[in-house]
Structure formats: C-alpha cells, structure tokens
Structure 1
C-alpha cells in the first residue's frame, strides 16, 4: 500500500468510526429534553472562562453551520438555558452565557452521557487502546485548538 493509499484508508476508517459512534450516541442520547447538538453547545460553554463565549467563537467549537448554531442558541435562550448579551468590547458581537439552570441541566445530562460513552467505548476497546486512541487523535487536532484531549497514563 502506498503512503497515499494508507493515509486515505486510515482517514476513511477514522471518519466511519466517528460517524458510527456519533450516530449511536445521538440515537441513545440520555434525555429527550436536550439534543446532542444542544448538549454540545452547553458543554463547550461550560469549558469557557465564566461559562460564556462570543457567538462567533461557539461557531468554531461545535460541528454545525453558523445559521444552525444561531437558531439553536435562540432555542436555548427561549428555554432559559443560555442568555445572549451584546459584547461590551464590540457591539457587533454577541456574548452567549450558560445560565445557572442551563448549567444544572447540562451537568445532569453530562453524567448520563459519560456513562453511555464509557459503555460504548469500553465495550469495544481496552483501557490501553483507549489511551492510544486518545493519543493518536490528539495528534491530528489543530495545534491552536483551545481544549486538547487530556491523555491519562
């Protein structure tokens, strides 16, 4: 196999595995009160300083198109899970912050979601394989990414 064929085969395998895992997790998401995409926004906000971020930065953190993120944020605002405010340093920008109610709901769902991830990943891979997978995939992530995956020994 050539270097090119090997790289393409590895990419396809990684991509298909990721899609398969996401499909299972989305189908079995632990709550009907929050979608996996809504959870992703709340998860990313929970990692930001002050649990808040500019809307344009959220667009970079989640795997949705900009119009989809805007609509999703509006739904979260309507449900009281996040709030939107003008950016005091740039009035053209919008700050999105997770509310106390949003953080509480995120935290409850996160526990269940982590259990589902642990069950799915742990059934397929050993602890050593999970560490190796985390290490290998972290090498593929952009170096400017704000939250690298921690790899425990």
Structure 2
C-alpha cells in the first residue's frame, strides 16, 4: 500500500517531505514487526539488540558503554535493560578485573539459545524476499547511507 493510502492523505509539500514521512512510517512498520517477533521469546527489541551485540563480543565481555555505542536505538538506560536480561538469565554481570568501577557483561548459554531461536525471523527475509529484490535492497542501502551523508 502506498504511503498516501497508509496515512490517508494526498497532501505533501514536496517529494522530499513525502520521502521523510515514508521513511518514518516504514521505520515504525519494521520496528513493529520486529517487536512482535522478539516478544515471542519474551524480550523486547532493545533486549534483542543487546543480546546480538553481546553475541558478537562473545566470549569477551562488554561494558554498558560499549553496548550504548553499538545499539541501533540509542537509549540512555542500557543498565536497566541489562538488569532485565540478567533477571531472565540471558546475560551475566561481573566486576571488571582491570577496572573495579566497571561491570563486565556477557551473554549466557540461555541468551545464545534465545538468539538462535530468533535469528531467522528477525532477519525479516520473508518480508524482504516477498517485496523487494536483492538489487533493490542494495539500492535502498546505498540511498539510506547517502541520506545520512555517507557515500
């Protein structure tokens, strides 16, 4: 469905305005799908993102600072999200040996298993393959990078 139909309007100031609205709407649409898929494992999209980062670091630990830097959604409250993951047994916290003020965060086996269960669905290959080609994905990636000032 076209953006005009989705938000029930035909009035845009320009194609740039329409593109901005379309990007925001589509971002929310994708986020909604991913939130629903993550919730099947009783985690949020932000929790999934932290688990994904920790798996990339594994077996090395991460700090709250590293997690905050790498998160897709730049939330200020990483420690609260980590605490929720600890209570679910998906990550573990321990004192950093080299800096007693810092906390090391590592993904647990349960966290790795949770990610493995979600990996396929979170890639959204079902939606992407149905709606756009690989070449169109490459074009979209290039355009989005260009939008953010990277060529």
TM-score when normalising by structure 1: 0.72
Of 72-81 and 84-93, more deviation after overlay is shown by 84-93
RMSD value, Cα: 2.6
Q: 1:79 Cα deviation (Å)?
A: 1.9
Q: In 2, are the aligned partners of 1:42 and 1:102 still within 8 Å (CA)?
A: yes
Alpha-carbon spacing, 1:57–1:140, altered in 2? closer, same or farther (3 Å)? farther
The runs of 5 or more residues in structure 2 that have no matched partner are: 1-13
More strand as a share of residues: 1
Of 74-83 and 131-140, more deviation after overlay is shown by 131-140
Radius of gyration: which is bigger? 2
Q: 1:97 Cα deviation (Å)?
A: 0.6
**Matched pairs, number:** 136
Q: How does 1:2-151 map to 2 (within 5 A)?
A: 10-29=19-38, 31-48=40-57, 50-62=59-71, 63-67=73-77, 69-114=78-123, 117-139=124-146
Secondary structure of the 2:102 match is strand
Alpha-carbon spacing, 1:142–1:88, altered in 2? closer, same or farther (3 Å)? farther
The runs of 5 or more residues in structure 1 that have no matched partner are: 144-153
Alpha-carbon spacing, 1:110–1:32, altered in 2? closer, same or farther (3 Å)? same
